[in-house]
Structure 1
Amino acid sequence: MATEAEVYAGLTEVFHEVFGDDTLKITPTTSADQVPGWDSIKMVTIIISVEQHFGIKLRSREVDQLKNVGDLATLIQAKAA
């Protein structure tokens, strides 16, 4: 099982790759409205990248309930367990 630190390190890699910005800082409270360019297309790209990076599958209804990066990290930890 991935630790919280490992999940956030992986998420940081994913976000840097998806947004092409190595200076982007994510926290548990980071949400789409705080990141320039984070739209529905980017969300799909984030989810696909997360699935590939962590070797998990996320369901649409799980993704629909996410409000911020912290919710995503919790979901990743639950799926990776």
Structure 2
Amino acid sequence: MRRTQSPGDRRKVQVELTAEGRRLVWDVYGPMVRDGQTLLEELGVDEITAMAGLVNKLSQLTEEHIRRVSTRDAERGERVGG
């Protein structure tokens, strides 16, 4: 990792991965990415459509939960997340 001072705001520190850091991340996650790609290439249209439907439903459920929690917290005078 490399840390540099923000040119626009001296109070901030910017953090970025070095080439070595990117290599280490790929060493860990690369095999999973490749295996996942292979798995997805083997799926048929019906399976992909079913997965997309499930992801959409889970996304809607998450959004509904966020609204419910936000409304509840606002009624209590609390901030969401703390």
- TM surpasses 0.5: no
> TM-score normalised to the size of structure 1?
0.24
> TM-score normalised to the size of structure 2?
0.24
Bigger share in strand? 2
Higher RCO (Cα < 8 Å, 6 or more apart): 1
